[in-house]
């Protein structure tokens, strides 16, 4: 959870747990996307049991939101 403004928010996309959504996380997601990973994959952020473009869109949106909220301290 992160504090954005006056609200605590749950974010997703930090797949390697280094507290930064960066190219390493996107690489993990893109690899699963390319291989059309199914089932309970770590990179399946919307819970539909398929890693697809919808998961990438969610992570990309969070990356943009968090970049604006935390400037350079959270997102690279």
Between residues 40 and 72, the one the model is more confident about = 40
Torsion angle, CA of 49/30/53/18, rounded to 10 degrees? 80
| Ordered domains of the chain (ranges, CATH) | 2-70 (1.10.1330.10)
Q: Are 58 and 46 in contact (CB under 8 A)?
A: yes
Please write the tens of the pLDDT for every residue from 1-59: 667 778 777 778 889 988 778 889 999 999 999 999 999 899 999 999 999 999 999 98
Contact residues for 52 (Cβ-Cβ < 8 A; gap 6+): 33, 36
Residue 73 has pLDDT above 60, yes or no: no
Cα–Cα distance measured from residue 26 to residue 3, given in angstroms and rounded to the nearest whole number? 23
pTM for this structure? 0.74
**72 falls in which pLDDT band (50, 70, 90)?**
low
What mean pLDDT do residues 50-75 have? 77
């Amino acid at each position: 959870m992160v504090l954005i403004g006056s609200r605590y928010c749950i974010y997703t996309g930090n797949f390697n747990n280094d507290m930064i959504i960066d190219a390493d996380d996107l690489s993990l997601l893109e690899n699963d996307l390319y291989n059309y990973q199914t089932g309970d994959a770590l990179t399946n952020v919307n819970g539909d049991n398929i890693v697809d473009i919808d998961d990438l869109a969610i992570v990309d949106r969070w990356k943009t939101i968090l970049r604006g909220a935390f400037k350079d301290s959270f997102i690279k």
